[in-house]
Chain A
């Protein structure tokens, strides 16, 4: 019975996650540029300044990657800005221990998912270059379990790291498309 309940709960979690991803993939809030604009300005493709208006005040977070997703010089960091920001966004649910935007290394502190006090995770992300490429990010996951009073290293499911890498790449793609849309 207990076993059955466990299987059911796993099934429930899986279906809720699947449901979330289906809805989240098909739901979004349209940008302001997706509505009709009767201004003559909106009928010209592109902008002479390369971005939508001339920045008078404030910092432009999108200007770092408008040149084919590869530029990182403008953003002042040593690795691809989209992958870096995507890694930060993706791993932000864990406490950060160290982040080096020049070397492209991001190390989290130990983190226990809610309800599982007996195990904890730690992640390390490496951004491998200045280009926005699918092999531009590597993530390593470490897992420990509490046995008695000591934390013991235990193996991690093989797909976890690559799933997180997929999340980073998806987020990077989102950021890039947002920046491209903003510069149109």
Chain B
């Protein structure tokens, strides 16, 4: 009897091991993408009397308000290649072509140019983890835990920022998650998940992306070229990492994460501090409700991974948010606050944002959404003290957005 047991155990054991055998899959090429249309109503104190109309047939010179209503479109086409080799390794690449939202200054070009967003490849082993390489978000960004809200098409700075003018210090929004590495060309390793835990690390030698980077203002020569390997060109040696936990306890799902990022400042400016950023986040989900919070801190300026001037204190951002999903309807809300040291004895710039949003899934792949954001800015660097008009140090903005997005 024992012999029977031993033999049959061996067969079942062989079957268990047999499961590891992977079927080879010929590569597939897919094309996906999205299209979005949104209309915005903007009430911004910095828009009041912000535009000067020169004297002429329209009358004497005067200042007028910016319009409160605008429409915008956005779209992206994604080419997705994926396959699996007979040894179980998955491989593939993804190239995203986006309509860029940046219109060159001093040009009348329409905001309809197409360039690449992320463009990257990957190799994934069923036991060793995944290697990604190319112009892709950093490991910290891919694994950071932030506020829930994506499902309600609501983000701390994702909906209202493109409708509003730059502040006097050049930054529209401060509330934001840990920087995504700006798609600088990098390598990223993502570990397998063990008992709910996984981690990732990424490295970019410099801040540039794409094939090659050389400044070409008026004729490229050996004397004028700036290679992306030039230590004066951008931040360098960007290293990012994150660890996260995902698990469920009964009907309650928990996601927690800690992400970190560091980089050397440009070598030509001794008055800059090296960049460090950290973000801790927690999300708890149950019965359609997700509640979450994030705290981000470190030596970073601007909206993202800009080095801080020497002597300035670190920056912080924190936020709380919740979403509720029932059937095709999702609703969400958040509150977030960010602070930046303005240097010297100047008071810190603070930005406080809260928002409400809802989305309705009309069909799988097609959402209708509407949201409202309220932004209060104080002590904008370079702004006129005490003023909340154009160029002022303070600012109040209300933005209402309604739109639709379809994906395929």
In residues 379-404 of chain B, which contact A (Cβ within 8 Å)? none
Q: Identify B406's interface contact among A39, A44, A53, CB under 8 A.
A: A44
Interface members, chain B 102-145 (any A CB < 8 Å): 117-118, 122, 124-130, 137, 141-144
| Contact call B198/A30, Cβ cutoff below 8 A | yes
User: Which residues of B have CB within 8 Å of A156?
Assistant: 4, 8
Residue B16 lies at the interface, judged by CB distance under 8 Å to chain A: yes
Binds A, one of B188-196, B217-225, B261-269: B188-196
Q: Decide if A15 is an interface residue (CB 8 Å cutoff).
A: no
Say if the beta carbon of B363 comes within 8 Å of chain A.
Answer: yes
| CB of A49 closer than 8 Å to a CB of B | yes
Smallest Cβ distance from B259 to chain A, in angstroms? 10
- Chain A neighbourhood of B144, CB < 8 A: 36
Taking a contact as CB atoms under 8 Å apart, the answer to whether B31 and A13 are in contact is no
Q: Within 8 Å CB of B12, what residues of A?
A: 160, 163-164, 167
Given A39-B76, A46-B364: A113 and B407 interface contact (C-beta under 8 Å):
no
- Collect the chain A residues with CB atoms within 8 Å of residue B71's CB: none
| B18 pairs with A49, CB closer than 8 A | no
Q: Could you say which of B26, B124, B153, B365 contacts A47, with CB atoms under 8 Å apart?
A: B365
| Cβ < 8 Å to B, chain A residues 123-149 | 141, 143
Query: Are B36 and A40 closer than 8 Å at their CB atoms?
Result: yes
Query: How far apart sit A143 and B23, CA to CA, in the bound complex (Å)?
Result: 28
Known contacts: A89-B19, A89-B21, A93-B14. The answer to whether A27 contacts B194 by CB under 8 A is yes
Number of contact residues on B: which range applies? 35 or more
> How far apart sit A55 and B191, CA to CA, in the bound complex (Å)?
29
- Taking CB atoms, residues of chain A closer than 8 Å to B190 are 30, 35
A47 touches B32 (CB 8 A): yes
Instruction: Write out the residue numbers on chain A whose beta carbons fall within 8 Å of the beta carbon of B143.
Output: 35-36
Counting CB contacts under 8 A, is B54 at the interface? no
Q: When chains A and B are docked, how far (Å) is the Cα of A94 from the Cα of B74?
A: 54
Binds B, one of A58-66, A71-79, A95-103: A58-66
Asked if A41 and B7 sit within 8 Å, CB to CB, the answer is no
Q: Is A4 positioned at the interface, with any CB of B under 8 Å from its CB? A: no
Distance in angstroms between the alpha carbons of A17 and B18 in the assembled complex: 13
User: With the chains together, A116 CA to B249 CA distance in Å?
Assistant: 44
Question: What mask results when residues 297 to 338 of chain B are scored 1 for a CB within 8 Å of chain A, else 0?
Answer: 000000000000000000000000000000000000000000
Q: Report which of A14, A38, A48, A55 forms a contact with B30, defined as CB distance below 8 A.
A: A55
Task: Tell me, yes or no, whether B367 is within 8 Å of chain A by CB.
Answer: yes
User: B33 near A: Cβ within 8 Å?
Assistant: yes
Which residues of B lie under 8 Å from residue A38 when comparing CB positions?
A: 137, 141, 180
Of A13, A27, A45, A163, the most chain B CB neighbours within 10 A belong to: A45
Interface pair B30/A53, CB less than 8 Å apart: yes
Closest to A49 in B: B408
Q: Which residue of B lies closest to A6 (CB)?
A: B2
State in angstroms the CA–CA spacing of A20 and B193 once bound together.
15
A27, B196: Cα distance in complex, Å: 8
Expressed in whole angstroms, the Cα–Cα distance for A40 and B18 within the complex equals 40
Give the A-binding residues of B (Cβ under 8 A).
Answer: 2, 4-19, 21, 23, 25-34, 36, 74, 76, 78, 80, 83, 96, 117-118, 122, 124-130, 137, 141-144, 146, 150-151, 153, 180, 190, 192-196, 198, 200, 361, 363-367, 405-408
Beyond known contacts A6-B2, A171-B19: 9 more, CB 8 A cutoff? A26-B194, A32-B122, A35-B200, A36-B144, A39-B76, A39-B96, A47-B365, A90-B15, A167-B16
